[in-house]
Structure 1
Amino acid sequence: MLPTTSQSWFIFGIIMLLLPQSTHYPNKQLKNYWKCGYSFVLPILMSLSAVSTSFASENIEKIIVTSVPNSQSDAQPYGYIAKKQTTATKSDATLLEAPQMVSVVNRTQLDNLPSESISQALRYSSGVVSEKFGAFGSGIDYSKMRGFDADYYLDGLRMLGNSGIWAPQVDSWSLESLEAVHGPASALYGQGGAGGVINMTSRRPSAQTQHQVQLQAGNNKNHAIKFDTTSAINEDETWLYHVSGLALEQESQIPSSRQTRFLISPAITWKPNDQLNWTILGQYQKEPRLGYYNTLPAQALGLLPNPNGKVDPNRNYNNQSHDNSHRKQQSLTSLFEYELTPQWQFKQNTRFMKVDTEISRDYTRGFLPGDRLLTAVYQEAPSKSETWVTDTQLIGKIATWDINHTVMTGFDYQHGYMTKDWWGSQTVSFDPWASHHKPDFEPYPVSRTSIKQQFDRYGYYLQDHLRWQQWNLLLSGRYDSANLDTHNQISGVTNSSHNTAWSHRVGLSYQFNNGFSPWISTSDSFDPVLGTDADGKAFIPMKSKQYEAGIKYQNPELTQLVSVAVYQLTQENVTTHNPRNPDYYQQSGEIRSRGLEFESKLALTPQVNMMLNYAYLHNIVTSTSDPTTLNKHPVQVPTHTGSAWIDYRFHQPYLEGALLGAGVRYLGSTYGDNTNTFQVPAVWLGDVSFRYQLLSINRELQGLELGLTVSNITNKSYVASCTSSTYCSIGTDRVVLGVLNYYF
């Protein structure tokens, strides 16, 4: 039988997508643009053929009897509990079938708990250590899992760009959910670190009309207006739209430092039939002011002795004429799905992202002899990045004897460039206890670096999810190739590197009838790290290996989800913060992590939701060229972390639908430098949340809802973390936010 038109386009498209690997082009750039551009063209070609097939089907349906679709659907998630995931397996496997620890944060949890950033949204996820830069890190999302940095993905595609404070940031208002996959994920996602993957899912268009406007106000002069709207465009609901956006202005907890953000995220979905679904998402985010980002030495915060005592951690030690950091990012994403046959599905996701960031600030270093005068440096560091990322998949559901297979093969490609300049002033000193100070940083610049990196990375992967009776076997393999050119724009020297690697994952689980599902798995990862060290030298790839075992429980009613995992994870060529230049990373030898994670989400009654989490982690340097750090613990990695949250939904007169919740978080102590000479103390923090529907007091107020969230309710003063004795971040003080929502 000859292939259909759409199948022909699919075969042609795959050939053309892979053709550039073996075709000669006059220059590399043309080859790259061919691959990236065709990622958008292929969905168009297949969509046109799908529509023509649909029209033909409509004529046939007039003379044949059609079957009645199955109206029975899977049980829906309850409260904060999810049934399925998409990140751990890139498929529709349930959480019980995924042989890996997975934490899911749905939109309900984002709305009910304090979640103004991705880092805040992950507070109540086991083993995820976020907000380690505290009050000075509001402009970055930086998380560790199992002792290593996590990689951020948006809609299944990696967010590439410069690291640290130059990286892109996604606003939690634009998201539907988050999934944190703990441990290596290279077998599917390719180049990635040992910590795991945090995948953020954007809000999508829906045929169900929903509109929301939110007014927000809080301490630190916080003012914001947010909106979210979605509906069908036409009567047959083949065209859907979604738009969300916000305008935000607030002060940080440091006086005279402001943060502003403007965001618009439009999306449109075309679904002409049951076979085709194509969504285009755009995003434009501008931050004219990123806010004050600074740190203080351990001696200034009482972590190390100082005869002069501690300084005021919330004082602005910045020369305010230098507080001019800003960022602009924009992206265009295509999410394309097409059902070739009832058994085979084609998917292709593509994103272009552009980020333009400039960091302009002062930051303190250590004290001069006598421990009275504090040194500081003015820094101006502009950076730009443009990245293309595309992931193409073919998914099939087949059976061999009585074994059901979900087979997935795919190809992904990443291309882009990044530039980062750094101008630094001379080092100056000032008295932080003096009532007034204005350091004179002139003349500057004194030192300068200017680096441009261009990368091309591609990978081929294959996965087979085998189901036999109550057994689940997951087999994943992948081949990666990475090319990186690092050009020093001052010396004119270019260094090139080419790395290849195979990675795998094997996982086995068994689902008992009572809801328990034990699993074992092994996986590895390979990550050719982007960026350079302080000397402009490119990093060599990181490699990791993990062994994991655990057990999950989920009842059929989806009111209870409990996961427990133990693991051993080893990573080579680890990147850590440079203690002498904390804005940059350096590479050490090998780090081994052993630990246990417990996570539970429970709907105790239709009114009561509870979350309990705990993680134990023993993280140690097992090999290094620096003998002073051998057998030491890395910075920012607590041995113990835990959290608990409970909320109650009222169903009484004048309180109908109101919600009251409270939580507590424990952040264990961490070491403050690579040689473990001092520690950052542990801290307990509390949060509360309240939502009240005004309909309860007056039916004419239907759709109006008041909300209040408070983070760090006791206003505990603490140190979030240190990466060296001269670089410590202050914890976030109490944050109170009140909102008025209008749903219509």
Structure 2
Amino acid sequence: MHAILLGSTAFAGLLMSMPPAFAQQAGPSASPPTASARRSERQIMFAVPPQALSTAIVSFSRAANIDLVFDGAIPAGIRTQGVSGAFALRDGLNRLLAGTGFSAQVAGGRTVRLINANAANVGGPGAVPAGAIPLDTIDVQGNSAQSPFGPGVGYVATRSVTATKTDTPIVETPQSISVTTRQQMDDQQPLNVGQAVSYYNAGVVGEDNSDSKQSDQIVTRGFTSTNYVDGLATPVGTFVQPAYDPYMLERAEVLKGATAAVYGQSYPGGILALTTKRPTDDPFHEVFVQGGSYGRIESGFDTGGPLDADKHWLYRVTGVGFDSGTQVDHTNLSRLSIAPVITYKPDDSTTLTVFANYRYDPNVGFWNKRPFAGSFVPNAAGYRIPDNFFTGDLGFNKLESKQASIGYSFEHKFDNGWTVRQNLRYMHTSWLFDSVQDDSITGTTIVRDKFQDINSYDSFQVDNQDEKSFDTGSLHHKVLFGLDYQHVDFADKETDADAPSLDLLNPNYYQPLPAYTSADTYIDTRQKLDDLGIYARDQIALGGWRASLGVREDWASSSTTNLLNNDALQTQSNAATTWNAGLLYLFDNGIAPYVSYSTSFLPTIGTDASDTAFKPTTGQQYEAGIKYQPTFMNALFTAAVFDLAQQNVLTQDPNNNNNQIQTGEIRSRGFELSARAGLTEHVDLIASYAYIDAKTTKSNNGDVGFRPAAIPENSANLWATYKFTDGMLAGLKLGGGARYLGNTENTANTYTMPAVTVFDAMASYDFGAKNPSLKGLSLALNVTNLFDRQYISFCTNGCYYGLRRNVLATLKYRW
């Protein structure tokens, strides 16, 4: 395939800057800009040395923010003298093609072709000139597949804003980024975000103990992630946590390593960044129904497009609802979620997108904790609690979650080159958890407790950004200045008491439960958090060199009211400076080695024995790696080594056992390999491997040298699909994969959970491939844990069973 894909701004610039003969073919009103107009166009810094035209086009397209898919069919003997310096897109393109015998042509509103300028135009209007190399028609949308907010192409995304808050090619970003594309989610049908990003992703561990409350929480390089949606934080309480159905997302990204210089207070392991679906320039409609294991029934829709002929107003509405049993008896999982979005684009310089989201989970699955003796090993009497056994009480069993948010994303590009943005969101989330849980098992008697958690939070975030690109001598700069603020109001009440025991062999699920007393409530707090941050970044290009520098200052404060202690109020304030730096060299063949350094901080609530407020934890990461984005295929290969540490970790005070001090340190070192590729038009592939050496390096708790619980030292994944495009099997796609999770330790490092390999499979059929009247209709079958492997996922304060085999059948219609 020969295809140049143009982002919306790049396409507009190219259309306005074509040589006269070609610009006129795009429409009678498209006249060439004057010399003064060209001087006022955005200047782009090019550093394309003399070389073969087939490879030079790739370097040029990256500098001009043009995505290129190219198979190398241009004769190898055709060379360019290159482009060096700052030029408008038109002038740079003319210099690139000068003397090659080729030129760019716009043939119709959205088709770009590379033409042999010396060939005769034979065959009448619209014919391809003899000797020309035509490009496949590409529908260039304002929200193109390879925009940093788009779904990606196949399993590969090439651009992101997550690491820098600016539109930057991933291959030019000196830090590890992995993107779960929309196609991957469609193929694999993950039940939750944790599965979407942890299955087939190097160094990422999801909460695989259940399909319930922790579904959006992941661990990256040995540390808990900080979560963001559409560029803004989603704070996490003790139990309450925002959750997004994978169907509502366009893509899910994991940025690995310390990120505070970009986002402020965060864990050192990285962030999970979700992008929700946005309006499209062209109409799009989809409905589906799904059925599967445990009586699951689900339906959803996704529709969008322009509201007016000029496409100034665009909309999109996505909704999903389901009800299902789970692998644990007497428990259910159900959800209703809807997300209307509207975009207003009065001109090419201004965009306002308003997002709303509502999610109600009346049943949030199950809480899968089991005692060690009775799950990982049999108890003294030789009994284990089966993974499907319900240990609770049906008279006190409620897991309910609600979430609602509204916000907007605004961008305006000024004529002087500055671009301003503002992202804003208000979110409310609540959680109710009533559960009778097992604590231990003696013989066949399960000892239980009655637990309740009621919590909620309200959050407000706003992020203001100013961006501009300019040149200083031979250096091209992309600078970003920002100011952001977040406020969180969080309430949490937790109560625990004894509950009647349960006979494993003759369970009674409706026993009389004692009422709570005031003494049973051990947490009843309200906490308010505020964080104000200012930041600056500069991304510098010189030839193939890319340097990234960022610095940030944060002022964080908190006030905690303890309602159990006469409304005692505790306040705390912290300030922190964080920074990062990276250096990368991009070769013309798509290979990009890099090094980077980044820091993090995270406030720690509480005081030591002398009532001195705890300092924030601090983190640092050293990373080196190499990325490879081939010029001849849709693929991205990455390798990285890292050294990550967190200081000021709480540990026991040796002089006062009832208090803690901040002398602890946790370190994580390792390396990761990852491949995402469309190997051919038939085959897509994901492969990854991670080695993580994580341990406690300083502590007064007697755990120096311990591995963090549930973090495998080795993990590996492989997934591939094959799509039949002709013959009797045209329209059929088959896929499968294997997930290997290495040995993990419990919290005390007294026992080791063995490694496990789990297999998954899928098959889908596009009815329109053989019957055009059925275009858009498809049927898919997905199976996770294909061979129904029973295993312990991990053990921390208890042990948790992994998810058993799950089968889903999906009938979908698109038009």
TM-score (structure 1 length as normaliser): 0.85
- In the other structure, the counterpart of 1:10 is none
- Would the alpha carbon gap of residues 136 and 269 (structure 1) be closer, same or farther in structure 2, given more than 3 Å must change? closer
Deviation (angstroms), 1:129: 3.2
AA aligned opposite 1:404: H
Report the secondary structure of 1:686's partner residue. Answer: strand
Residues 65-464 of structure 1 aligned to structure 2 (within 5 Å): 73-75=66-68, 78-135=153-210, 137=212, 140-163=215-238, 165-303=239-377, 306-341=380-415, 343-367=417-441, 372-436=444-508, 440-445=512-517, 446-448=519-521, 449-464=523-538
C-alpha distance in structure 2 between counterparts of 1:62 and 1:692, whole Å = 44
2:751 aligned to 657, 678, 695, which one? 678
Alpha carbons of 1:558 and 1:574: their partners in 2 closer, same or farther (altered >3 Å)?
farther
What residue number does 2:643 align with?
568
Q: What SS does the corresponding residue of 1:111 show, helix, strand or coil?
A: helix
Summarize deviations over 1:21-52 as a string: whole Å, max 9, x none. Answer: xxxxxxxxxxxxxxxxxxxxxxxxxxxxxxxx
Relative to structure 1, the CA distance from residue 63 to residue 385 in structure 2 (aligned partners, 3 Å threshold; closer, same or farther) is same
Which of 759, 762, 784 aligns to 1:689? It is 762
Tell me which amino acid in the other structure corresponds to 1:222.
R
1:234 alignment partner, SS class: coil
Residue in 2 that maps onto 1:729: 800
| AA matched with 1:568 | D
CA contact (8 A) 2:261 2:535 kept: yes
CA distance in 1, matches of 2:607, 2:708: 20
Letter in 2 for 1:707: A
Provide Cα deviations, 1:343-395, integer angstroms capped at 9, x if missing partner: 2100110110001111111222234xx55533211111111110001111000
Which amino acid in structure 2 is aligned with residue 551 of structure 1? Answer: I
Does the CA-based 8 Å contact 2:378-2:384 persist in structure 1? Answer: no
Q: Is the 8 A contact 2:696 2:708 kept in 1?
A: yes
SS in 2 for 1:300: coil
Hey, what's the Cα distance between the residues in 2 that align with 1:635 and 1:107? 31
In the alignment, what sits opposite 1:552?
Answer: 627
Check the 8 A contact 1:430/1:439 in 2, yes or no: no
Whose RCO is larger (CA < 8 A, sep 6+)?
A: 1
Deviation string, structure 1 residues 703-729 (Cα, Å, up to 9, x no partner): 2110111100001011111113xx111
Deviation of the 1:150 alpha carbon: 0.6
Alignment of 1:571-610 (within 5 A): 571-574=646-649, 589-610=664-685
Matched residue SS, 1:204: coil
Counterpart of 1:651 in structure 2 is 725
SS at match of 2:237: coil
Q: Quote the RMSD (CA, aligned, Å).
A: 2.6
1:513 is aligned to: 588
- The separation in 2 between residues aligned to 1:392 and 1:523, in whole angstroms, is 22
How many Å apart are 1:127 and its aligned residue? 3.2
Deviation at 1:572, TM superposition (A): 2.1
Distance 1:95 1:528, change over 3 A: same
Separation in structure 1 between the aligned mates of residue 202 and residue 318 of structure 2, nearest angstrom:
31
* CA deviation map 1:231-270 (0-9, x unaligned): 1000000000000001110011111211111011000000
Which range is displaced more, 557-566 or 348-357?
557-566
1:333 offset after TM fit, Å?
1.6
Asked if the contact 2:368–2:801 (Cα under 8 Å) also holds between the matched residues in 1, the reply is no
User: Partner amino acid for 1:444?
Assistant: Y
CA separation in 1, counterparts of 2:448 and 2:543? 65
SS in 2 for 1:298: coil
AA partner of residue 286 (structure 1): Y
Whole-angstrom distance in 2 between the partners of 1:246 and 1:588: 47
Looking at structure 1, the residues matched to 661 and 637 of structure 2 have their Cα atoms a distance apart, in angstroms, of 38
Contact 1:655 1:696 in 2 (8 A): no
Q: Deviations over 1:268-293 (max 9, x none)?
A: 00000011011000001111111222
Quick one: distance in 2 between partners of 1:504 and 1:304?
A: 50
Q: Is the 8 A contact 1:114 1:710 kept in 2?
A: no
Change (3 A) 1:286 1:565: same
Letter in 2 for 1:116: L
1:199, CA displacement in angstroms? 0.5
1:720 aligns with 2:793: yes
- Structure number with bigger Rg: 2
Q: Which residue of structure 1 aligns with residue 687 of structure 2? A: 612
Question: In structure 2, what is the equivalent of residue 30 of structure 1?
Answer: none
2:207 and 2:215 in contact (8 A); partners too: no
Question: Residues 413 and 635 (structure 1 numbering): CA distance in 2 closer, same or farther, change over 3 Å?
Answer: same
Amino acid at match of 1:563: T
Distance 1:131 1:546, change over 3 A: closer
Which one of 685, 700, 707 corresponds to residue 633 of structure 1?
707
Instruction: Supply the distance in 1 between the matched residues of 2:650 and 2:814 (Cα, whole angstroms).
Output: 46
1:397: Cα distance to partner?
0.2
Number of positions where the alignment pairs a residue of Structure 1 with one of Structure 2: 666
Q: For residues 552-586 of structure 1, what are the alpha-carbon distances to aligned partners after superposition, in whole Å with 9 as ceiling and x for unaligned?
A: 1111244221100001100124489xxxxxxxx99
Alignment partner of 1:631: what SS?
Answer: coil
- How many angstroms does 1:651 deviate by? 1.1
CA distance in 1, matches of 2:507, 2:231: 51
Distance 1:255 1:575, change over 3 A: farther
Q: Residues 395 and 409 of structure 1 are in contact (CA less than 8 Å); yes or no, is this contact kept in structure 2?
A: yes
Task: Give unmatched runs, 5+ long, in structure 1.
Answer: 1-60, 577-584
Distance 2:614 2:756 in 1: 35
Q: CA deviation at 1:425?
A: 2.0
Shift of 1:702: 2.0
Find the counterpart in structure 2 of residue 31 from structure 1.
none
Percent pairwise identity: 31
Shift of 1:440: 4.5
Using a 3 Å threshold, how does the CA distance of structure 1 residues 586 and 126 change in structure 2: closer, same or farther?
Answer: farther
| Structure 2 residue corresponding to 1:490, chosen from 538, 550, 564 | 564
For residue 698 of structure 2, what is the aligned residue in structure 1?
Answer: 623
Structure 1, residues 272-328: CA drift from partner, whole Å, max 9, x if none? 001101100000111111122231011111347633232212111110121211111
Which residue is equivalent to 1:58?
none
For 1:428 and 1:587, locate their aligned partners in 2 and report how far apart those are by CA, in whole Å: 40
Note the alpha carbon deviations across 1:618-672, whole angstroms, 9 max, x for none.
1110111212x12111101110011001100111234323211100000111111
- How many angstroms apart in 2 are the aligned matches of 1:623 and 1:139? 29
What is the alpha-carbon distance in structure 2 between the residues aligned to residue 281 and residue 734 of structure 1? 36
What is the CA–CA distance in structure 2 between the aligned matches of 1:680 and 1:587, rounded to whole Å?
A: 30
CA distance in 2, matches of 1:125, 1:541: 33
| 1:468 corresponding residue in structure 2 | 542
Q: Would the aligned equivalents of 2:744 and 2:754 in 1 still touch at CA under 8 Å?
A: yes
State the distance in 2 between where 1:681 and 1:575 align: 29
Distance across 2 between alignment mates of 1:587 and 1:133: 31
Distance 1:235 1:531 in 2: 58
Instruction: Indicate the SS of the match to 1:112.
Output: helix
Task: Please give the secondary structure, in 2, of the residue aligned with 1:299.
Answer: coil
Q: 2:210, 2:368 within 8 Å by CA — same for their partners in 1?
A: no
